Every structure is written in structure tokens, then in C-alpha cells.
Amino acid sequence: MDTIALSVKDFITEQQAISIDQVPASRLKESASVPVITLCTEPGSGGRLIADELAKRLNFKLFDKNILVAMANAATVESQSLDTIEQERPSGVQDFITALVDKNYVYTGDYVSFLKQQVEIIGKIGHSVIVGRGANFILPPKDRFSVRVIAPLDIRIRNISFKNSVPLAEAKKRIRNREQRRKTFIRET
């Protein structure tokens, strides 16, 4: 694990050096004015490690799955209800039926409203790194710096397999399922 973390650190340091070398000294400012960095990551790409390192180096607050707790507190609902919606991405019929059966259920549309509200609050506060959650679609481009973290599929499969101790075929299935849920979420948002 340390090898991966060190390689991420080395990568960020290398990219910073390249960026500084390519920008004329007259254009460099003492501090950047980017209030929020959004990371959109492919499953297994190592994006979470990069987000951790960015947040540490910039002394920014990191928001990923923990944003569900803030959403739940603001909406006075259980964070598990929001996590279920995020993981399963129910269809309209599933959404309706579950709401009839479970009095604590949160409609998908309400989830999206809560999410947008929290991301916009984070955007106003600034100095944050947000991983996923469609934040790059919610915040206006002038208020964010967006990064897309990708990796070849075979590497992502190996990473997921190793992290979750599952066979490669299961890791590939998990990646495909997560990518499909992401596409559905973006389309509905």
C-alpha cells in the first residue's frame, strides 16, 4: 500500500514541477483562487488516493462518501437511506414501491436535491476536494477545478480485485455495474 501512496505522491510532485516549468514566472500567483477541486474517477483508478494527497497538500477538506452524513443531517434522514439510493440507483417504479413500504425511505429526487444543496454549500465555503457525487456537474466551472482520473481497465480490475479480495471476473463485474449506475445517475441529475 505504501508503494501506491508513494507513487501517487511522486506523480503529483512531478506534475507540479512540469506545470510550474510551463507557466511564465509573470503569470504565477502566490496563491491559487480555485475554491473547490472536483475529482471524477473511474472505479479502481486510484482517484481516491490522489484526492487524499491533494487534500493533504493543499490543506483542503476532503468530501467523498462522508458527504452523505452532512446530507442526512441537513435533511433529518438516516444516512443509510441515502447510501442505499447511491448504491442501488432505483428505477422510478422501485422508488415508488419502496416509498410505500418503508416510511424512512428517501425518494431519489429528494436525494438529488439534498446532494445539490450540500455540494453548493461546500462550493461557497471552498477549500475542498470533492470526489464524485456529480459535483463537477453541480458547481459552475468558474467555481471549481475538475479532474478526471482514469486508468486502463486491466489495472482497475486488478486494483478492485486486490482491494476487495475478489476474483478478477468479480472485480470486472463490479466495475461495469458501478459505471452503469454512474451513467444512470448523471443522466437523471
Question: What residues have CB less than 8 Å from 119, skipping those under 6 apart?
Answer: 67, 130, 133, 134, 135, 138, 139
pTM of full prediction above 0.85: no
Length of the chain in residues, anyone? 189
pLDDT tens-place string over residues 21-75: 555 555 444 444 568 999 999 999 999 999 999 999 999 999 988 888 877 777 6
β-bridge partners, 39: 131, 147
Span 156-164, average pLDDT: 94
pLDDT tens-place string over residues 85-109: 666 666 666 666 766 666 666 666 7
Span 154-167, average pLDDT: 95
How does residue 159 score in pLDDT terms, banded at 50, 70 and 90? very high
For residues 38 and 139, is the Cβ–Cβ distance under 8 A? yes
* Helix runs in the chain, H state only: 2-22, 47-58, 67-75, 79-88, 92-101, 108-125, 135-138, 153-164, 168-188
How does residue 1 score in pLDDT terms, banded at 50, 70 and 90? very low
Q: How many Cβ atoms from other residues are within 10 Å of residue 181's Cβ?
A: 14
